[in-house]
Structure 1
Amino acid sequence: MDILAELNPAQKAAVEAINGPVLILAGPGSGKTRVITHRVAYLIRVVGVNPRRIMAVTFTNKAAREMEERLDKLVSASVKDLTLGTFHAICARILRQDGKAISIDKKFVIYDDDDQISLIKRSLNDLALDPKQFAPRALQSVISSAKSQMLGPADLPGKSYFEEVTRRVYERYQRLLTDSNALDFDDLLLKAVELFKKNPEILARYQNRYLHIQVDEFQDTNLVQYELVKLLAGKYRNICVVGDPDQSIYSWRSADIRNILNFEKDFPDAKVVLLEQNYRSTQLILDAATHVISANKQRKPKDLWTENEKGVPPCVIETYSEEDEARYVVEEIDNLMRGGEVKSGDCAVMFRTNAQSRALEEAFIRYGMPYKLVAGTRFYERREVKDVIAYLRLIQNPNDTVSLMRVINVPQRGVGERSLDELTRWSREQGVNEYQALKLLADSSETSAGLSFSARTVKALAGFAVMLEKFIEKSRELDMVALFDLVVEKTGYKQYVTGLVDGEERWENILELRGVAQDYKDLKQGEGLTAFLEGVALVSDVDDLPDKQETVTLITLHQAKGLEFPVVFIVGMEDGIIPHYKSIDDPAQLEEERRLCYVGITRAKKKVYLVRAFRRHLMGSSTVNKPSRFLLDIPSHLLTRGEAKDETAWTTAGVEEKEPELLKDLPKFKAGDHVKHDQFGEGVVVNYRRVKHDAEVVVAFDGVGVKRFLLSFAKIEKA
């Protein structure tokens, strides 16, 4: 099989560029996955590179699986020796292998989002701080952002009280992570960098091993990931990064677009290859998307083109409200299906914020049209799934305090919150963690002297410790499935969960998790548990999305990246939604919103609908929003306009009309005016604009924030 046979000239150039640094700028739908897969196959089959000397980094587990399947067809058995996976998965392997050099036990567990929040709450409690005053999720976000910039607690500023509290919580949080032999997602990356920087001999071993390093979705990397890549590629410099600055949409996850924009500065001898031929969309869809993204300054220009048909222009639809917007989407999908143009699985409805799904879901339910909400509760976040995983994590690492506290009374053993608080207090007095305290209770009944536990509670706690010890012992001889079954049986979890109101569904989820465990059955005792726990910890919501959907997909624009659908509806095409109101006044964030819109449009193969509502409920109040400024970037000849369904007495054209009689009786304001409101107090007018039959005023209030009002309803007067 000729590796290069089915590649276009640009793709072929990208595959053959194997020496030195390479930057592949891959437009949407340009066959990027084919290129990165064929490039690895080319290195193995044509150049003769040992697969063991190649590292290929992907953005998601799903992308890694897809790449592995494609490579298996191209180079067969060679794939098993390749280092292929996400940054987090690869770093986890490195740390299990060599982390002992920086005091990391190879049996560490990986804390997910919920685990991190639990640990931050515990940190607040330890520091006698109120979680209502210092929101755990906000603290988690600040700590994660600091880690992505390689900042420790001591590096944080302490200029304000909140910053000082954050620094103290961060410090305590890290202490608790260490005590639990746990790493969060950011630590997987940070600790790998720390390992290499503190141990040149270990770094040299990895540098010598990896002759070629390839990184996909490079525009989504953060500072730590880029530092890791530069360290690993430091010897041979055969580093190939693939990405598209126009699709950098994850700054809120600390992705740094500067990594890809400045790659040529860091590697002046880099070869740059542009993939501009699109295989997904029609030319009119590409033209509209190009006009949207061309207004950005932080980008590397590309000229997308396709040999596909010209197609139909994107359709702009204006509805009256979010309910009408949702109804239009459902009815149009139904029309397309009745006309034989599409199947329901061909359609995706994309939105900017999760809150927008409410009206959409109600409409789909009302019309009886099946749908899949990708933003819904993820499988691995379901209570019963997390419970069983917590038991398994305790077998792997009994010092995992978060998991211990989660299941010590699940199923109920008569151990209440007060007993757990007492256990924590006593364990600290003894200078041990909670698990070690349980072992002390189990080893000697006299140990409980001085504890305010009932005999029943002592028996329950000691019994839990004995059970856990037996699980740990059995894990050395049982395969992954047998261990799974033992845990579910001996804990009484099946009886517990089937006794709940929705017990049958919850039990089905546990059986589904058992099916995942089957994939690790053939690994050696101990190794199967480690691999299983690592696999479930690093999965993402998009990883759970089937390759072939049989129902309409409801999905956020952020989650839609990397996917494609014949028909795409993007709802909420209004200023304040797309772009988001928090980003409008920040040039860098506004550019990211534009990229997000670009990503949404370029998911479509055949048709794009850009839908907006004239009036929408936002943050508890009804507002009239202008059409998205991104719609104005697209020339009118590249768009068609649909008709609104049920509402005819509304329009935004009133901005140009004579002032309605109603407005003559309302007060006039301008930006900068000082005003007062009965409920919110005094503030300053940020914006004032006319809308049909009314006016909208935006006011920044002291201590309350920015509020929008329709003037006919607002009780506002000049201060």
Structure 2
Amino acid sequence: MTMSADDLLDALDPDQREVALALTGPVCVLAGAGTGKTRAITHRIAYGVRTGVYRPTSVLAVTFTARAAGEMRTRLRDLGVAGVQARTFHAAALRQLGFFWPKVVGGAPPRILEHKAPVVAEAAQRLNLAVDRIGVRDLASEIEWSKVSLVTQDDYVRASTALDRPAPAGFDRQAVARLLDVYEQVKTERGVIDFEDVLLLLAALLESRGDVAAEVRAQYRHFVVDEYQDVSPLQQFLLDQWLGGRKEICVVGDPSQTIYSFTGATPHHLLTFSRTHPQAQVVRLVRDYRSTPQVVGLANRLLAKAPRGKAGGHAPLELVAHRPAGPPVGYVAYDDDDAEASGIAARIGKLIAAGTRPSEIAVLYRTNAQSEPIEQALASAGIGYQVRGGDRFFARRDVRDAILLLRGAGRAAGADEPMPQLARDVLLTVGWAPEPPAARGAARERWDAMQALVALADDLAAAAEREGRQAMLPDLVAELDERASTQHAPTVEGVTLASLHAAKGLEWDAVFLAGMSEGLMPISLAETDAAIAEERRLLYVGITRAREHLELSYARSRNPGGRASRRRTRFLDGLWAGDDRPAPRIARHPSPVPPEDVDRDLLARLMEWRASVATETAKPAYTVLNEAALMGIAARRPASIAELARVNGIGPAKIDRFGATLLSIVAGGESR
């Protein structure tokens, strides 16, 4: 249902409403984490369209991730606004470059390199630089930084020295400068461009060709830039060409969430916006609707302790929590990494047993290398998970096959056939089933992906019903096509494992921050004051991902039995609640329950039941439930699912499959 202009304003708090009413630029929105910035700017666009101030096609909203762009388009569609362009910088630039290139240059634009590595390796070889795979990766990253920072090969040595930016390990600045030059030569010889060139070429085209600039500026008259604290000099240069001196721009950001400076992002443009645009209207969003007061309080205290010198910079926004009180933030010190992983898995198991969906739980860490023991612990507990930053959803072969089948079925479907059931019928042929497979592995991953498509079909059908129409299978295919073009994947059910950088822009009911020790947070590579300040902001981003449950932990040593040489991160000095004694170790194979606590008759019935299940399924008895779990049940005599979940060795998968039977056995029922 289309909302009226008054309805749009009534749906906002006073600060958000101030954003929506600021229809003419320049406007600067300083929006803290969880304060509803996307809601504010999408309602601003919708209000501008509804009141006739904007033509939908004259608005260009640019974001930094395809997911954010997809979210913005979805919200605008739900508000009844169609035609607004919401894209990433690269997607918007690529679209315009593809349109103008044949007219100005002739022919199709050059092919875009998917990976810089082959070209970097060849450039290094021509310079007789010895490089391995890691060296190539580091040099490619440095090339990206120089290009988005508008640093040429002639100016690289001076600029990197002035910024105290070290050259990639094993190379001096002069060698990197030469490599920048040869890299461009190799690209030209191969007739290819990289992703940074898309922005550079379009900006240069707009700067040099008045006719092209006039056509773009006639099309786009109002600009919105999300996450403006992460804009690079190159992106700002392109934005300036789009604007052409006009002031119709609304920027939204939070300097305290600047965490990508290593890629060339800088909060400079956000922090100086009021000086660059003296007539700018500045609105602060500080009402936090995402997190409990406990989480918000920790986030505020973390930033309040930051130095305010050259590296610390600005005074942060102080968030005001608008959710009811929740559980206290947890702080746990473990003996070693395995104990930390197992402890986190056990805590997650209890949350799931108590009703929290796995997709609403995340484990976040500083480096991707930290995920392995956590993956193992979750797998041992029978808890499904997905690693963010792994294979892209729409690149999976099973997903591509499923969409192909849905497309074909959509062409043949009758007008009165309900879409959710049709989608289920199709997906039954490619790995979906009403219930998930018991085991982890490829079959479960395939089911999780298909279930995400089923859930999306249900969501679309529900949205269509609210609008008084019936969703059809082609609607699902169209939605998937749009999402695939922007890599806006549907939600896959499972605990999310992600680096702190990859978690930016996301949120969960429960968040576990693992590895909160010196050397990991801040990372050992952060040696300057500016780098340490950015690590603090990274922890702030991690904390503010949590809606209700938040637990921070670290391990005193890396390996079991190792020397306890680690200490918790300096960022939590004065914030860590309680003492710092190690938490009780939760082993992967829990220690036996004391014999005197075990109900021997109950244990015998449990053993009999396990043997019968093993015989029926032709599997070893220990794969049904191990002895420690059986003894734990016989000792605790759980009377509910929640109590059963507290028994070591019994995860959500075991509870789903055997929970009711086990409780019946405990209560004295049949063992078969």
Structures share a fold, TM > 0.5?
A: yes
**Contact 1:96 1:105 survives alignment (8 Å):** no
Following superposition, the deviation at residue 122 of structure 1 comes to: 2.6
**Cα distance between partner residues in 2 of 1:325 and 1:163:** 41
Partner of 1:87: 89
* 1:608 equivalenced with 2:546 (yes/no): no
**Contact 1:326 1:360 survives alignment (8 Å):** yes
Following superposition, the deviation at residue 349 of structure 1 comes to: 0.5
Q: When you count strand as a share of all residues, which structure comes out higher?
A: 1
* 1:308 equivalenced with 2:318 (yes/no): no
Change (3 A) 1:359 1:572: same
**Counterparts of residues 175-574 of structure 1 (less than 5 Å):** 175-296=185-306, 297-338=312-353, 340-378=354-392, 543-544=488-489, 546-547=490-491, 549-574=492-517
**Counterparts of residues 103-118 of structure 1 (less than 5 Å):** 103=105, 105-112=107-114, 115-118=115-118
Following superposition, the deviation at residue 60 of structure 1 comes to: 1.3
**Cα distance between partner residues in 1 of 2:564 and 2:395:** 34
Query: Residue type of the partner of 1:626?
Result: R
Query: Residue type of the partner of 1:263?
Result: F
**Contact 1:261 1:300 survives alignment (8 Å):** no
Change (3 A) 1:140 1:382: farther
Change (3 A) 1:623 1:146: farther
**Contact 2:302 2:571 survives alignment (8 Å):** yes
Query: Residue type of the partner of 1:258?
Result: H
**Contact 2:257 2:538 survives alignment (8 Å):** yes
* 1:6 equivalenced with 2:20 (yes/no): no
Partner of 1:136: 136
**Contact 1:150 1:190 survives alignment (8 Å):** no
Change (3 A) 1:150 1:104: farther
Change (3 A) 1:249 1:321: same
Following superposition, the deviation at residue 92 of structure 1 comes to: 0.4
Partner of 1:412: none
Per-residue deviation, residues 241-281 of structure 1 (Å, max 9, x unmatched) = 00111111111221112121121121122111011111111
Partner SS for 1:558: coil
**Contact 1:315 1:642 survives alignment (8 Å):** no
* 1:576 equivalenced with 2:519 (yes/no): yes
**Cα distance between partner residues in 2 of 1:535 and 1:10:** 31
Query: Residue type of the partner of 1:360?
Result: I
Partner SS for 1:197: helix
**Cα distance between partner residues in 2 of 1:251 and 1:300:** 19
Query: Residue type of the partner of 2:508?
Result: F
**Contact 1:24 1:243 survives alignment (8 Å):** yes
**Cα distance between partner residues in 2 of 1:216 and 1:375:** 22
**Cα distance between partner residues in 2 of 1:550 and 1:351:** 20
Instruction: State the TM-score, normalized to the length of structure 1.
Output: 0.64
Partner of 2:570: 629
Per-residue deviation, residues 435-454 of structure 1 (Å, max 9, x unmatched) = xxxxxxxxxxxxxxxxxxxx
Partner of 2:591: none
Per-residue deviation, residues 387-415 of structure 1 (Å, max 9, x unmatched) = xxxxxxxxxxxxxxxxxxxxxxxxxxxxx
Partner SS for 2:502: helix
Change (3 A) 1:628 1:128: closer
Following superposition, the deviation at residue 234 of structure 1 comes to: 3.2
Partner of 2:536: 594
Following superposition, the deviation at residue 633 of structure 1 comes to: 4.5
Partner of 2:79: 74
**Cα distance between partner residues in 2 of 1:640 and 1:341:** 30
Change (3 A) 1:332 1:13: same
**Cα distance between partner residues in 2 of 1:217 and 1:332:** 33
**Cα distance between partner residues in 1 of 2:538 and 2:230:** 13
Following superposition, the deviation at residue 647 of structure 1 comes to: 9.0
Query: Residue type of the partner of 2:583?
Result: A
Following superposition, the deviation at residue 119 of structure 1 comes to: 1.7
* 1:54 equivalenced with 2:77 (yes/no): no
Partner SS for 2:51: helix
**Contact 1:193 1:227 survives alignment (8 Å):** yes
Following superposition, the deviation at residue 100 of structure 1 comes to: 5.1
**Cα distance between partner residues in 2 of 1:379 and 1:334:** 26
Number of equivalent positions: 498
**Cα distance between partner residues in 2 of 1:29 and 1:288:** 14
Change (3 A) 1:167 1:104: farther
Per-residue deviation, residues 113-172 of structure 1 (Å, max 9, x unmatched) = xx2111212333445544349922122122111101213333333999744443343233
Segments of structure 2 that go 5 or more residues without pairing to the other structure are 162-166, 307-311, 401-406, 409-441, 454-473, 588-672
Segments of structure 1 that go 5 or more residues without pairing to the other structure are 387-479, 482-503, 516-521, 523-527, 649-719
**Cα distance between partner residues in 1 of 2:237 and 2:266:** 12
Instruction: State the TM-score, normalized to the length of structure 2.
Output: 0.68
Query: Residue type of the partner of 1:93?
Result: R
Per-residue deviation, residues 466-489 of structure 1 (Å, max 9, x unmatched) = xxxxxxxxxxxxxx99xxxxxxxx
Per-residue deviation, residues 550-586 of structure 1 (Å, max 9, x unmatched) = 2111111111111111111000111111111111x31
Identity of aligned residues (%): 32
Query: Residue type of the partner of 1:146?
Result: S
Partner of 1:646: 585
**Contact 1:207 1:235 survives alignment (8 Å):** no
Change (3 A) 1:105 1:566: same
Change (3 A) 1:331 1:586: same
**Cα distance between partner residues in 2 of 1:295 and 1:234:** 41
Give the alignment partner of residue 43 of structure 1, picking from 45, 48, 58. 48
Following superposition, the deviation at residue 381 of structure 1 comes to: 7.6
Change (3 A) 1:323 1:379: same
**Cα distance between partner residues in 2 of 1:101 and 1:129:** 41
**Cα distance between partner residues in 2 of 1:609 and 1:599:** 14
**Cα distance between partner residues in 2 of 1:300 and 1:367:** 44
Following superposition, the deviation at residue 51 of structure 1 comes to: 1.5
**Cα distance between partner residues in 1 of 2:63 and 2:108:** 24
Judge which range, 259-268 or 325-334, deviates more: 259-268
Per-residue deviation, residues 59-105 of structure 1 (Å, max 9, x unmatched) = 211121221122122234xx23x232000001101211223577475
Following superposition, the deviation at residue 192 of structure 1 comes to: 1.8
**Cα distance between partner residues in 1 of 2:192 and 2:533:** 37
**Cα distance between partner residues in 1 of 2:271 and 2:544:** 21
Following superposition, the deviation at residue 292 of structure 1 comes to: 0.5
Partner of 1:711: none
**Cα distance between partner residues in 2 of 1:223 and 1:104:** 29
Per-residue deviation, residues 357-378 of structure 1 (Å, max 9, x unmatched) = 1111121122222111113344
Following superposition, the deviation at residue 384 of structure 1 comes to: 12
Partner of 1:400: none
Per-residue deviation, residues 37-59 of structure 1 (Å, max 9, x unmatched) = 11111111113321121111112
**Cα distance between partner residues in 2 of 1:382 and 1:127:** 38
**Cα distance between partner residues in 1 of 2:71 and 2:394:** 21
Judge which range, 557-566 or 366-375, deviates more: 366-375
CA root-mean-square deviation: 3.5
Query: Residue type of the partner of 2:59?
Result: I
Query: Residue type of the partner of 2:196?
Result: D
**Cα distance between partner residues in 1 of 2:268 and 2:585:** 47
**Cα distance between partner residues in 2 of 1:88 and 1:564:** 25
Query: Residue type of the partner of 1:630?
Result: F
**Cα distance between partner residues in 2 of 1:241 and 1:185:** 24
